[in-house]
Structure 1
Amino acid sequence: MTVITTERLRLRPLTTSDADADWWVRLHADDEVNQFVGAYTRERAVKRLRDIAQQWDQRGHGLCAVELKATGEAIGRSGLHWWEQFDETEIGWTFARAHWGRGYATEAARAVLGWGFGTLGLPLITAMIAPGNSASIAVAGRLGFTPLREDEILGRPCVVHGLTRDAYASV
């Protein structure tokens, strides 16, 4: 499976292991972290991780645990997710509050974009961001995303931001 590394981070595919399921629940237990993505029960986390594993198997990409290279600590998640109803591949990022404000989301997402546009040859990657999520809007802006449309994902409103391979190459 694909492992992506940056100067400070290691991104590895999430699995259906008990360790990843427990970590997923803990990550999303913080009200500040889950305000835009929701909390997870263990059962819901296992189902989500199965869906992620299926994407890795079927599409060759999915979500990753983001770990600090220096310690191995999992601090967040980032990666690509295919949304059949939109016919689009989305990049996402969610990090533990203790690791906010250190540039990890931008660093991880930049590496995922390079992999998605370079290795996978995707023509467009979207970022579906909840209105009011100023931190994610800022990350998307630093990466070169621009708003495309308002939409809804999993029953929640979002603004879909987009970045083409050509635009990414020029950033």
Structure 2
Amino acid sequence: MKINNSARLSYRLMSADDAELLYQLDQDPEVMRFISDGSPSSRETITNVLVPRMQKYLNPTKGWGLWQVNITETDQYIGWVLVRPMNFFSALPEFDNLELGWRFFQTSWGKGFASEAAQHIKNALAANTQYKKFSAIADEENLGSIGVMKNIGMSYVKTYLHVDPLFECNVAYYQLQNA
């Protein structure tokens, strides 16, 4: 699957070859504030945990993976948008419900890039009627990510303790039906 450029941004699926880009993004304590209490990811964690984890759900045909987001005009890498089935790493993944997530460099915050990228990628995937819902979770105190969820038309569903092999925390769960 290819996703065409949006108004200001370009997209491509990331691979194991992008480990250094993933590492760079995870070095800002503010970027990592709601992910790891501000602790940056080590190169070893990127190489031995995050890249193999990404490769488990990477499916270029279906559009699953981490979509690198660049500013079209300068080709500057500003972050990524995650696409995978909701609860992918559980015993009951939801293949008709795609999880969207995002992580962007702090220098790009407040400019609408995350909302533009998430909306554009969601719209591209929405053409596949197999996907009935789009969902997102964020730490319940992460008002920036919750704002992106609202900006792309998602509605609050619930707050719950999300347990993942890498972390657990109380998250706000938002969702949008694929019309």
TM (norm. structure 2) is 0.83
1:85-128 deviation per Cα after TM superposition (whole angstroms, max 9, x unaligned): 25242101111001111110010001111022114641001110
CA 1:121 to 1:10, structure 2 compared with 1: closer, same or farther past 3 Å?
Answer: farther
Gaps of at least 5 residues in structure 2 are none
CA distance in 1, matches of 2:124, 2:84: 13
Q: Give 1:40's aligned amino acid.
A: S
* Contact 1:14 1:49 (8 Å CA) reproduced: no
Q: How many Å separate the matches in 2 of 1:92 and 1:100? A: 15
Question: Following TM superposition, by how much is the alpha carbon of 1:59 offset from its aligned partner in structure 2, in angstroms?
Answer: 7.0
1:10 aligned counterpart, secondary structure: strand
Q: What is the Cα deviation at residue 135 of structure 1?
A: 1.0
Aligned residue pairs total 164
Tell whether 2:160 aligns with 1:162: no
Distance 2:170 2:144 in 1: 17
Match of 2:57 in 1: 55
Q: Is the 8 A contact 1:3 1:13 kept in 2?
A: no
1:64 paired residue number: 67
Identity of aligned residues (%): 23
Measure the CA separation in 2 of the matches of 1:12 and 1:41.
Answer: 24
Q: Alpha carbons of 1:58 and 1:110: their partners in 2 closer, same or farther (altered >3 Å)?
A: closer
Q: Distance in 1 between matches of 2:43 and 2:111?
A: 29
Superposed CA RMSD:
1.9
Question: Which residue does the alignment assign to 2:141?
Answer: 132
Whether the 8 Å CA contact 2:3–2:124 is kept in 1: the answer is: no
Higher helix share: 1
For the Cα contact (< 8 Å) 1:79–1:112, is it kept in 2? no
Query: Unpaired segments of 5 or more residues in structure 1?
Result: 167-171
- Counterpart-to-counterpart distance in 1, 2:153 and 2:59: 29
Letter in 1 for 2:71: L
Q: Which AA in structure 1 matches 2:178?
A: R
